[in-house]
Amino acid sequence: MATDVITRLDPASRAARRGLSDLTIRNLFIIPTILFLIVFNIFPLLYSLGYSFTDFRASTNAPANFVGLQNYRELLNDPFIWNNFVITAKYVIVSVAGQVIVGFGVAMLLNRDIPYKGLITTLLLLPMMLSMAVVGLFWKLLYDPSFGIINYALGLGTFEWLANPDMALYAVAITDIWMWSPFVMLLSLAGLSAVPKHLYEAAAIDRAGPLYTFFRITLPLVAPILMIAIIFRTMEAFKTFDLAYILTSQPTTEVLSIRLYKMAFQEWQTGRSCALAYIMLIVVVAITNIYVKYLNKVKER
Amino acid sequence: MRRKLAGIVAGIGFTLACGTSAFAQELTIFWAEWDPANYLQELVNEYEAETGVRVTVETTPWSDFQTKAFTEFNARGDAYDMVVGDSQWLGAGSTGGHYVDLTDFFKKHNLGEVMAPATVKYYAEYPGNSGKYWAIPLEGDAVGWSYRKDWFEDPKEMEAFKAKYGYDLDVPKTFAQLRDIAEFFHRPDEKRYGVAIYTDNSYDALVMGVENAIFSYGGELGNYETYEVDGYINSDKAVAAVEAYKELYQFTPPGWAKTFFVENNQAITEGLAAMSMNYFAFFPALLNEATNPHAKNTGFFANPAGPDGDQFAALGGQGISIVSYSQNQEESMKFLEWFIRADVQKRWAELGGYTCHAATLESEEFRNATPYNEAFYQTMFKVKDFWAVPEYAELLQQINQRIYPYIVGGEGTAKEALDALAADWTETFKKYDRLK
């Protein structure tokens, strides 16, 4: 009987009975998928890597000339590009830190018995379901110094958020925090609900204070899942484009993706922009590796 | 069997023949999304009525215009038969092989004489003074100004202005007067502001605005023959002009750090500013009471003169080019022959298009047709343009990177910004072997 159940549930056996062998499945599904990935992912990746060593400009009919590492050398010696890196780093730190603090804080508040908890959680998730372009335009109106509700609510008069070079990056980061804190909150809630209750009961019996409980029980147990949220959000924040582009076009908010876009599609410096894309890729991979190593350490503890 | 095969082949041949014929009866012109494109569609409908050839004006928002056009060129696509491209595209369009050489067409129809000289120089010829033409001037345009006539003509305001500045309040004839008037009307407490200028640094908006000042102050972007820029873009005159532009920025409405044609028209329609800079092509909306409640009180003037009496304006507008990948180049040539006809140019002007046809431009009928046509006419004979070289986009990026932080952010001095820009541009021209 048990054998019969296994046979009925085993898809390979069912496929075999219908005449679909492992070989056929590989040929029909796996090989086309791999080919698709190679054609649309790997090939463009390698092709653009090739272009990054040339002076190719897509706006001309001139052939691409091999220039070796010149594009990389020029980019790494360009003070404007370094400035773009600094802006991006500042943005990533402010934005991700804000999301972790707000998201985790809200998750702590929601991780208790409160009425309409499900409804509140759902409503809090709404910002991250909206399109980036819509959020950008929406917040542009909110920040407007003449009729924006933010200045009205905070009594800031005609304070300029987006036109002020010193404030614009923070204004973009605040919008990003508003949009993506729910993501951190969701993951944190999952982590918090998985913390065994008996640990808190034991801490209560030992008369441990709330701070001790938080730092010794809650945070260590939620840390791995929080780290995953941080990894995701750091990668996304590093690549951010839409919000900064729509909200403001200040030099102080020109993150790397915007510079890359302008270089590739407004200035048509195709080879150079490919090199910048690879520099960005290397940085993202390096940051992610550092995070993953740290995540593994946190898990081991 | 043989008869059946012959029938199939004949059928395919007939279908292909019909298909080709039908295809040649349709032309597509690509342009940006704005009122002149709508006027052009109205005009080309008349071409269809006359010839049976349907012409569609396909548009895209200004922010995507360059990217979309060049993406299609780069792919050697034939989606568009003609494109109404920006003047600074001429270098990239011609040297990249994207535009059809119209030199013979130009000479055959004597367009160098028929069209206004500045429009021929900036919308059609590349390289400068080479006698090679790649476009037909289509939409003439330049940067001008609109203003609130009722504010200017209010007796109390006039009296107060004279008491403060010692001369009569009137349409500014010089940049100094423009600055005084902007300062006079700048009253944030009353939610009234002095002036609206271009500040958007993402394409050519801020640059066009600053050019208005640089050219009228007697400055130049560089030597267009030799590509020398040091001593031109950072000359004393250019420095004074950029300082003057920055001074105007302090009299703009709040949040005026990323503004272009939409916001500058809004400054008038919402009663925010006394004066507003904009392309002439956007002025029709200011005379429409449906879009501007102050339409009756809106006046227009040409870009004022600088301290030495020089008076120029930054050139807008576009020429129409045939895309070299088009399958309908002959049909497109026929369309252009129709378009340059004097009666068609007159009709183009009647519909709201800014003709570049010299005779039409100079006619009393055109100059009196709208309250801004006279200012437009005056302006079109004293316009100057940005670099039209293929690497213009890099040059635009560099000028934005240097002057925006100074004008909007108050960083450094105009001299420092322009010295740095001179170094950037010199390096770029060396990179492209224009300068040794």
Distance from CA of B377 to the nearest CA of A (A): 32
pLDDT of A16 higher than 60: no
Query: Which chain A residues are Cβ-neighbours of B67 within 8 angstroms?
Result: 265-266
Asked if B203 lies within 8 A of A165 by C-beta distance, the reply is no
Query: Which chain A residues are Cβ-neighbours of B204 within 8 angstroms?
Result: none
Chain A residue nearest residue B394, CA to CA = A267
DSSP state of B276: E
Chain B residue nearest residue A78, CA to CA = B424
List the single residue in B97, B401, B409 with the smallest CB-CB distance to A80: B401
Between CA B91 and CA B72 the distance in angstroms is 17
Looking at residue A14, its pLDDT comes to 59
Q: ipTM of this predicted complex?
A: 0.76
What's the whole-number mean pLDDT along residues B176-182? 98
How are beta strands B273-279 and B193-196 bridged, if at all?
parallel
Q: What is the pLDDT of residues B209-267, one digit of tens each?
A: 999 999 999 999 999 999 999 999 999 999 999 999 999 999 999 989 889 999 999 99
Helix axes B414-431, B236-249, angle to 10 degrees: 120
- Fold held by A78-300: MetI-like fold (1.10.3720)
Looking at residue B279, its pLDDT comes to 94
Find which of B60, B63, B68, B74 to mutate to test the A interface (most A CBs within 10 Å of its CB): B74
List the single residue in A60, A158, A250 with the smallest CB-CB distance to B95: A60
Asked if A267 lies within 8 A of B67 by C-beta distance, the reply is no
Asked if A162 lies within 8 A of B257 by C-beta distance, the reply is yes
Asked if B254 lies within 8 A of A158 by C-beta distance, the reply is yes
Query: Which chain B residues are Cβ-neighbours of A248 within 8 angstroms?
Result: 257-258
Q: With an 8 Å Cβ cutoff, is A146 touching chain B?
A: yes
Q: Are B274 and B293 in contact (CB under 8 A)?
A: no
What's the whole-number mean pLDDT along residues B147-152? 97
List the single residue in B73, B255, B397 with the smallest CB-CB distance to A163: B255
In chain A, what are the domain boundaries?
Answer: 20-69, 78-300
Q: With an 8 Å Cβ cutoff, is B271 touching chain A?
A: no
Query: Which chain B residues are Cβ-neighbours of A162 within 8 angstroms?
Result: 255, 257-258
CATH code 3.40.190.10 region(s) in chain B: 26-142+316-384, 143-314+390-432
pLDDT of B334 higher than 70: yes
Tokens at residue B105, please? 């067409």
Q: Are B367 and B377 in contact (CB under 8 A)?
A: yes
User: pLDDT grade, residue B380 (50/70/90)?
Assistant: confident
Chain A residue nearest residue B391, CA to CA = A267
DSSP state of B134: -
List the single residue in B74, B203, B256 with the smallest CB-CB distance to A59: B74
What's the whole-number mean pLDDT along residues B369-392? 90
pLDDT of A15 higher than 60: no
Asked if B254 lies within 8 A of A59 by C-beta distance, the reply is no
Looking at residue B434, its pLDDT comes to 92
Architecture of domain B143-314+390-432: 3-Layer(aba) Sandwich (3.40)
The CATH class that applies to domain B26-142+316-384 reads alpha beta
Asked if A265 lies within 8 A of B67 by C-beta distance, the reply is yes
pLDDT of B310 higher than 90: yes
Q: What is the pLDDT of residues A181-200, one digit of tens each?
A: 999 999 999 999 999 989 99
Looking at residue A1, its pLDDT comes to 44
pLDDT of B19 higher than 50: no
Average pLDDT taken over every residue of chain B:
92
Chain A residue nearest residue B95, CA to CA = A60
Q: What is the pLDDT of residues A141-167, one digit of tens each?
A: 999 888 899 999 999 988 889 888 889
Query: Which chain B residues are Cβ-neighbours of A252 within 8 angstroms?
Result: 409
Edge-to-edge strands, sheet with B26-32 = B54-60, B26-32, B82-86, B318-322, B136-139
Query: Which chain B residues are Cβ-neighbours of A77 within 8 angstroms?
Result: none
List the single residue in A61, A144, A262 with the smallest CB-CB distance to B96: A61
Between CA A164 and CA A250 the distance in angstroms is 9
Looking at residue A285, its pLDDT comes to 93
Asked if B390 lies within 8 A of A60 by C-beta distance, the reply is yes
Phi, psi of A157 (to 5 degrees): 65, -125
List the single residue in A58, A61, A163 with the smallest CB-CB distance to B257: A163
> Among residues B203, B381, B353, B378, which one has the least CA distance to residue B283?
B353
> Among residues A37, A59, A38, which one has the least CA distance to residue A272?
A59
Q: What share of chain A has pLDDT > 90, as a percent?
A: 68
pLDDT of A282 higher than 90: yes
